Structure 1
Amino acid sequence: KSQFSSNALSFDGKEGSDVGVLSSSIIEPIPGTFSFPLLSESHCNLIYQELLHYEKTAQERPELGLPLQIRHDGNFGSLQDCGFRPLLQAVEAIFQPLVRHLMPGKGQCEVYHAFLTRNWVGRDENAKFKVHCDKSDLTFNICLQASTDMEGSTVGFYRDPTGAEKGSVPTEVD
């Protein structure tokens, strides 16, 4: 049995937490974009360390034939193909009630693609990140490794409902 069952994951590590408890922590900086604590720091660290272990093993032991896709921007892609599907299914089970609560018109969500990005000040590959529109109706971003000295790490969202601003540079929202 996977150690990443949906029972093992909880909203920010709080026992018995549910969407109602989490609601007080949800911030909506722009319509349709939500920010909230989802997983405890210990769960994030466990997941992050397992991703690094998998990547290292796949690189150092090619004879094992472990799938490993390093994307054009140097990030670790297609986690669903690398044995992390149970984790993604557990996260999906957590997201389902959130989607029903926050976006009742969206219906069900399915986590079908996941990748690990690496961002730090001075990382040359960060310049390869492009302003883009995801192909999915919903996109979830989970920060697995934040530190007290973290700087320069953001995920930006912007909306142009008319489609007239293709290629424009998004602005920050406080």
Structure 2
Amino acid sequence: MQSIYNFHALEFNGEKKSLGDYHDKVLLIVNTASKCMFTKQYKGLEKLYQKYKDKGFEILAFPSDNFNHQEPLTGIRLETFCRLQQQITFPVFKRTHVVGEYVDPLFKYLSHKELNGKFDCRPLWNFHKYLINRKGEVVDYFYPFTGPNTARLHRKIETLLNE
């Protein structure tokens, strides 16, 4: 069975970042957008990141324009929006496809049980979240309406951090 460590993501500077660099971390992988009703979750995600980052937790954000063209930004404009306007300090990668014909291999893996061994659950909208254990395995997912401040999400993260 594969893990997310077999994949890579493109950073804003065009460099490939191996997800193996996050080995032994609990991860929350989120597809994001700057013009979505859920964009306000960026602030909550940053608070969540600050709360758990020193305990082995990372959030990985993947902007996507797959849903109603709610991510019109690319390149430096997108990076500026995330880093300066939203004050995000967790990793944010280049805009990518999270569904459809051109879906990124990572999101194909996250979305299909025959690949991840756990769930069939593709993003239905922006701010869909996948929770990954320290072994790089998908262990849960959260629909966009589950915000980063919900007790259920915090409990799941704390459980994985303590394993």
More RCO (CA 8 Å, sep 6+): 2
Q: TM-score, normalised by structure 2?
A: 0.28
The structure with the greater share of residues assigned to strand is 2
Q: TM-score, normalised by structure 1?
A: 0.27
